[in-house]
């Protein structure tokens, strides 16, 4: 078997065999297939695509390229939730405790933020003492005792995906649905979940810019999960506008806590209840309507908030910061950004809002960059709001004054104000099961 022949075959639109895909991934991990040939193959896949069987085979080959989590010591079904990335997306901090309070085991491995999107691990590390690196035995014990545990992703999961993603990033082949789907699902399968809920974001702040793209990606990922005996369901959700009002690490933790106390932003609360209800649904807890009522009950009776506190304590975090969020350090400086004219906010580009937050210090351009947990943005008004010139749009927070001008410029360019209110799109735009 020769990689040249495989590249040529895919270039000409052929369907690759399971053996050929295994050969590619083995050669990728061992280094026997050089980067220039892998890059050529990625470009061929970008143009010619892959069918559902090829995509599932690629996913499993990447799963088998490294370690897989053995979660057999966890009692009951393990349900995972994965978001394709967004701005202000702190849903894991709310959804996982709701699901756990309803009896679902959530053994979650999350990533760090990069670029304009935030990472759950960074948010949790803004809580003093919180540990995201645990031994397997401790991870399993916490899930069994508390119902949930959130740790950082292991670098040994799906190493082939890590190498291929780096090549995709520099060869303009990122926007391939089979490659995106197999990348996401290989890590989900390797992390040991029995059931998988996908939150596929669509809009300006997400990777998928159109509903058609998002639906195709969701359909492929659900197909992969089902073909590998993992019950999988996807919600397609709106990321044209940042989720909630807070963008930034400790700011988002505070907003998540407020939501678990019943006083969060309406859009964030609505989406988290829908996600939690669907986690319960795929865990066989009842009908969709019954699961939604269970999720609401766990949220509003305080059970979910207690679950979050137990998880934070079990992972070494200081729960006094969760009980009294005023203890989180404030940024040294802040600046209010105001509307330049009157009317309705017709657009608030989520990606640009995320970029502005990163400029303030809340995000990173490279994985090794340090972040400022207190930096970020709190939105005072969002898309659809009627506003007068000079009224506040947002408050920016940072440790350095010299970043405000650039961040404010980026943020203001993200906002459009017009004479008529925009058409409301809603939060949940589709469902794939």
Which sequence positions are flagged as catalytic? 82, 161, 168, 183, 187
CB-based contact 6:139 (threshold 8 Å):
no
DSSP bridge partners of 184: none
What is the CA 427 to chain-centroid distance, rounded?
Answer: 16
Closest listed residue to residue 236, CA positions, set 212, 270, 200, 263: 200
DSSP letter for 16, please: P
CB-based contact 201:207 (threshold 8 Å):
yes
CB-based contact 70:192 (threshold 8 Å):
yes
Please enumerate in sequence order all residues whose Cβ is within 8 A of that of 220, keeping only pairs 6 or more positions apart, or say none. 52, 55, 177, 178, 181
User: Given phi > 0 = left and psi -120 to 50 = alpha, else beta, which region is 424?
Assistant: beta
> Whole-angstrom Cα distance, residue 337 to residue 343?
16
Alpha helices in 107-204 (DSSP H): 120-125, 136-146, 159-170, 177-190
Q: What are phi and psi of 247, to 5 degrees?
A: -130, 115
Handedness of CA 33, 34, 35, 41 (dihedral sign): negative
Work out whether strand 231-238 and strand 428-432 pair parallel, antiparallel, or are unpaired. Answer: antiparallel
Token representation of residue 188: 């989900």
Please enumerate in sequence order all residues whose Cβ is within 8 A of that of 19, keeping only pairs 6 or more positions apart, or say none. 1
What is the CA 414 to chain-centroid distance, rounded?
Answer: 22
Closest listed residue to residue 385, CA positions, set 337, 336, 342, 428: 342
The residue length of the chain stands at 433
CB-based contact 117:89 (threshold 8 Å):
yes
């Amino acid at each position: 078997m020769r990689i040249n022949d495989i590249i040529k075959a895919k270039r000409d639109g052929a369907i690759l065999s399971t053996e050929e895909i295994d050969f590619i991934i083995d050669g990728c991990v061992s280094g026997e297939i050089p980067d220039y040939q892998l890059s050529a193959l990625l470009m061929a896949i970008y143009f010619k695509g892959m069918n559902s069987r090829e995509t599932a085979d690629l996913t499993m080959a990447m799963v088998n390229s490294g370690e897989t989590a053995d979660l057999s010591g966890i009692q009951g079904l393990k349900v995972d939730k994965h978001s394709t990335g967004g701005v202000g997306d702190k849903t894991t901090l709310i959804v996982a405790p709701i699901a756990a309070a309803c009896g679902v085991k959530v053994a979650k491995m999350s990533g760090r933020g990069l670029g304009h999107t935030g990472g759950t691990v960074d948010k949790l590390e803004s809580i003093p003492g919180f540990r995201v690196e645990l031994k397997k035995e401790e991870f399993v014990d916490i899930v069994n005792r508390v119902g949930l545990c959130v740790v950082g992703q292991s670098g040994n999961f799906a190493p082939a995906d890590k190498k291929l993603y780096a090549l995709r990033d520099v060869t303009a082949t990122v926007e391939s649905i089979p490659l995106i789907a197999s990348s996401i699902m290989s890590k989900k399968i390797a992390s040991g979940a029995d059931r998988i809920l996908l939150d596929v974001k669509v809009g300006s702040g997400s990777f998928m810019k159109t509903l058609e793209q998002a639906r195709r990606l969701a359909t492929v990922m659900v197909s992969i999960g089902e073909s590998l005996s993992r019950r999988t369901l996807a919600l397609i959700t709106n990321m044209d506008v940042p989720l909630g009002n807070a963008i930034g690490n400790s700011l988002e933790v505070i907003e998540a806590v407020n939501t678990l106390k019943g006083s969060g932003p309406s859009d964030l609360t609505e989406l988290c209840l829908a996600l939690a209800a669907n986690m319960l649904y795929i865990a066989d807890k009842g009908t969709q309507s019954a699961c939604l009522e269970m999720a609401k009950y766990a949220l509003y009776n305080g059970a979910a908030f207690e679950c979050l506190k137990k998880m934070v304590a079990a992972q070494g975090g200081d729960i006094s910061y969760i009980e009294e969020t005023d203890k989180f350090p404030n940024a040294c400086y802040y600046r209010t950004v105001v509307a330049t004219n009157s009317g309705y906010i017709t657009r608030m580009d989520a990606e640009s809002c995320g970029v502005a937050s990163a400029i303030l210090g809340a995000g990173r351009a490279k994985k090794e960059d340090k972040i400022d947990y207190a930096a970020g943005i709190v939105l005072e008004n969002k898309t659809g709001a009627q506003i007068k010139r000079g009224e506040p749009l947002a408050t920016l927070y940072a440790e350095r004054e010299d970043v405000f001008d650039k961040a404010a410029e980026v943020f203001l360019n993200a906002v459009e104000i017009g004479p008529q209110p925009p058409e409301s799109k809603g939060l949940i735009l589709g469902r794939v099961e």
